[in-house]
Chains A and B, each alone.
Chain A
Amino acid sequence: GAVVSQHPSRVICKSGTSVKIECRSLDFQATTMFWYRQFPKQSLMLMATSNEGSKATYEQGVEKDKFLINHASLTLSTLTVTSAHPEDSSFYICSATWVNEQFFGPGTRLTVL
């Protein structure tokens, strides 16, 4: 099956630092990857669509300078949370599209102190 990994699975950082989260499709190539954010007991909210070799498309209300997305290859997309603050603490999940289906990574729990 199609497997998507994320690294790290959990990160704790100090306010003001930047954090990079990696999303990899392990056994397929994904031209499109998506980044979601999920608060406790809430749904997944789409943050941005990441296309290989081009700029990401951000959803309304998502700061592109705050959440930097790079899709450098067909198997890797990265999300960098710049100058993180406690309100950025959340569960970040990526997905990769293959044969019209989205496969989700296991998520990254970010805690900003």
Chain B
Amino acid sequence: QKEVEQDPGPLSVPEGAIVSLNCTYSNSAFQYFMWYRQYSRKGPELLMYTYSSGNKEDGRFTAQVDKSSKYISLFIRDSQPSDSATYLCAVTGGTSYGKLTFGQGTILTVHP
């Protein structure tokens, strides 16, 4: 079983749609949860960072963590064509603190 599972998609939505991206993780020692956005042939950039269960909002982005079910989500409201990218969840914590374990990444396309 992979430590982090993420549906690779691809996901295609119309502009303005609400996008839901999800990951599950297996190790309860993971305490920190991140979402990265990666454009084609570029390095990932950090979108959201959380460490507790619940919701965290930043503009059109909301990160949600449910530690009891080991489930993390990223919601994008009013999606834009510029949001088209690969979204990667990442976790760290416990004895692996500082090292990031990434999900497979979900390819998102927002069409006008």
Contact = CB atoms under 8 A, between A and B. Distances in A.
B60 interface: no
Interface residues of A, number: 23
Interface string A80-98: 0000000000010101010
B43 A43 contact: no
A92 to B, nearest CB: 10
Interface residues of B, number: 20
Nearest to B103: A43
A32 B88 CA distance: 22
**A-side binding surface: helix, strand, loop or mixed?**
strand
B25 interface: no
B49 A43 contact: no
A104 B44 contact: yes
A49 B96 CA distance: 11
B107 A41 contact: yes
A106 B42 CA distance: 5
A34 to B, nearest CB: 7
A7 interface: no
Most chain A beta-carbon contacts within 10 A, residue among B6, B44, B98: B44
A46 B88 contact: no
Contacts of B36: 104
A64 interface: no
Contacts of A106: 42-43
B98 A97 contact: yes
Contacts of A42: 104-105
Nearest to A91: B41
B88 A41 contact: no
A46 B100 contact: yes
B33 to A, nearest CB: 13
Given A32-B98, A49-B99, A101-B49, A43 B42 contact: no
A29 interface: no
B57 interface: no
